[in-house]
Amino acid sequence: MSFKIASSPHQHNQRSTAQIMFMVALACLPGIAVQAVLFGYGVLVQLALAIVTAWCSEALVLKLRGKAVLVRLKDHSALLTAVLLAIAIPPYAPWWIIVIGTAFAIIMVKQLYGGLGNNLFNPAMAGYVLLLVSFPLQMTQWLPPLSLQSIELAPWDAVCAVFSQYSCSGFSLTQLQTSIDGVTMATPLDTLRTDLSRGLTLDESRQNPVFYGFAGAGWLWLNLAYLAGGLLLIQQKIISWRIPVAVLSSLFVLSAIAALATPDTIAGPLFHLFSGGTMLAAFFIATDPVSASTTNTGRLCYGALIGLLVFLIRNFGGYPDAYAFAILLANMAVPLIDYYTRPRTYGHRTRSELK
């Protein structure tokens, strides 16, 4: 018999790392389907580009490091990174956006630190932040949801738009972003931030058709789809419930208190929970077994910290949807969180007890 020691991710079940990564990717399918129907089939093109780029980048670095390529590609970690980054960016962003972001995530954030189990930061979110800071215009080109689109797009229009920024019929991306009432659309979070900076109140901003319902047109269904996938992961014991519950609870409590105190400038908790990338981040990204906290108490602290940072950045920072920044900042705090929340070894006493 031999006793093998390996780095995280560790799971208390009989599934391999490859099975876990693949099941997380599969759990994204409901959200991907809703996103494709409501916001355009460009997400499918982005997925294809991201997966090919991730596999090529990982194979290249592994070859340079003298490692077995096929064995490590089969753990599906590169696949999952590609999927998470592809569904986080606008569906019709230029093709080179996803190529740059995915290559950076795999080469610089993952492989540069030694590969799976050694990366300090979540690769997908690091790639997303690079793109958001470097190419802010391209990273905000979300189309209006299906109910508000002025131009009907066929599936093959997605390929044309991603590679040329024009549909097959010749419509530019700016024209595609125009809603049925002639207004260029943005996400509900971005629209709210812009309106508040112009001196409008929350009620005045909500007159925009993008705020259909309490979470924004299309965004409620998208978040519900990712919530369903996340609950499946918890039911299958792929992820721990502590991190997503702590993230959502922290964001809910803080936004509820702030909305009661300043109802004209702070949106309510349901808006924050079901708009933007809330459910995707809480269940699929914050729960990364490598860069997240590993103790039970630490996971609660880690999730609560992410919820706090999201609330602060969304309402007082410079970016409307703050999950990428919040998760990377929380990743930096993980060693400290784990140090102070590690369980006591059975039979050992602390220094204070020895005195």
pTM over 0.85: yes
Question: Cα angle vertex 85, ends 81, 91, to 5°?
Answer: 145
Give yes or no: residues 206 and 314 share one domain.
yes
- Residues 187 and 126: their CA atoms lie apart, in Å, by 21
Give residue 261's domain range. Answer: 186-338
pLDDT band at 184 (very low <50, low <70, confident <90, very high): low
Question: What average pLDDT does this structure show over 107-121?
Answer: 89
- Residues 26 and 22: their CA atoms lie apart, in Å, by 6
Give yes or no: residues 95 and 218 share one domain.
no
Whether residue 349 is contained in a domain is answered as no
Q: What is the DSSP string of 39-104?
A: H-THHHHHHHHHHHHHHHHHHHHHHHHT--HHHHHTT-HHHHHHHHHHTTS-TTS-HHHHHHHHHI
**pLDDT at residue 281, as a whole number:** 95
**pLDDT at residue 351, as a whole number:** 54
Helices and strands counted in the chain (H then E): 18, 0
Q: Which of 89-93, 172-176, 267-271 bottoms out in mean pLDDT, i.e. has the lowest?
A: 172-176
**Per-residue pLDDT at 223 exceeds 80:** yes
Whether residue 318 is contained in a domain is answered as yes
Question: Using only C-alpha atoms, what is the Rg of the chain?
Answer: 21
Work out the percent of the chain whose per-residue pLDDT is above 70: 90
Q: Report in angstroms the alpha-carbon separations of 135 from 107, 127, 140, 185.
A: 19, 12, 9, 18
Sheet strands (E) in 218-348: none
pLDDT band at 10 (very low <50, low <70, confident <90, very high): low
Give yes or no: residues 38 and 119 share one domain.
yes
Question: What average pLDDT does this structure show over 143-171?
Answer: 82
Give yes or no: residues 210 and 281 share one domain.
yes
**Per-residue pLDDT at 186 exceeds 80:** no
Whether residue 72 is contained in a domain is answered as yes
Q: Phi/psi at 178 (nearest 5 deg)? A: -80, 130
Give yes or no: residues 300 and 194 share one domain.
yes
Q: Which of 31-35, 168-172, 339-343 bottoms out in mean pLDDT, i.e. has the lowest?
A: 168-172
147, 172, 196 - which closes a domain = 147
Give yes or no: residues 334 and 193 share one domain.
yes
Give yes or no: residues 31 and 141 share one domain.
yes
**Per-residue pLDDT at 16 exceeds 90:** no
Instruction: Choose among 266, 264, 271, 253: nearest CA to 214.
Output: 271
**pLDDT at residue 170, as a whole number:** 83
- Looking from the CA of 91 toward its CB, the CA atoms found within 13 Å total 26
Whether residue 137 is contained in a domain is answered as yes
Whether residue 270 is contained in a domain is answered as yes
pLDDT tens-digit map of 274-318: 998 999 999 999 999 899 999 999 999 999 999 999 999 998 888
**pLDDT at residue 260, as a whole number:** 93
**pLDDT at residue 68, as a whole number:** 85
**Per-residue pLDDT at 350 exceeds 60:** no
CB 254 within 8 A of CB 311: yes
**pLDDT at residue 94, as a whole number:** 94
Give yes or no: residues 313 and 262 share one domain.
yes
Instruction: Tell me the two tokens of residue 194.
Output: 């812009």
**Per-residue pLDDT at 128 exceeds 80:** yes
**Per-residue pLDDT at 169 exceeds 70:** yes
- Per the prediction, the chain carries an average pLDDT of 87
Q: Which residues are within 8 A (CB) of 327 and not within 5 positions of it... i.e. 6 or more apart? A: 122, 125, 281, 285, 286, 291, 306
Give yes or no: residues 99 and 229 share one domain.
no
Give yes or no: residues 91 and 211 share one domain.
no
In this predicted model, which residue has the larger pLDDT, 166 or 335? 335
Give yes or no: residues 110 and 252 share one domain.
no
Question: What average pLDDT does this structure show over 89-101?
Answer: 94
- Residues 133 and 139: their CA atoms lie apart, in Å, by 9
Whether residue 329 is contained in a domain is answered as yes
- Residues 160 and 60: their CA atoms lie apart, in Å, by 29
Q: Computed from CA positions of residues 61, 64, 69, 71, in that sequence, does the dihedral angle turn out positive or negative?
A: negative
Whether residue 164 is contained in a domain is answered as no
- If DSSP codes are grouped into helix, strand and coil, which group holds residue 198? coil
pLDDT band at 207 (very low <50, low <70, confident <90, very high): confident
Q: Computed from CA positions of residues 112, 116, 122, 125, in that sequence, does the dihedral angle turn out positive or negative?
A: positive
**Per-residue pLDDT at 332 exceeds 80:** yes
Q: What is the DSSP string of 212-242?
A: -TTT-TTHHHHHHHHHHHHHHHHHTTSS-SH
**Per-residue pLDDT at 138 exceeds 70:** yes
Whether residue 131 is contained in a domain is answered as yes
Give yes or no: residues 261 and 310 share one domain.
yes
120, 147, 174 - which closes a domain = 147
- Domain count of the fold of the chain: 2
- Residues 158 and 150: their CA atoms lie apart, in Å, by 16
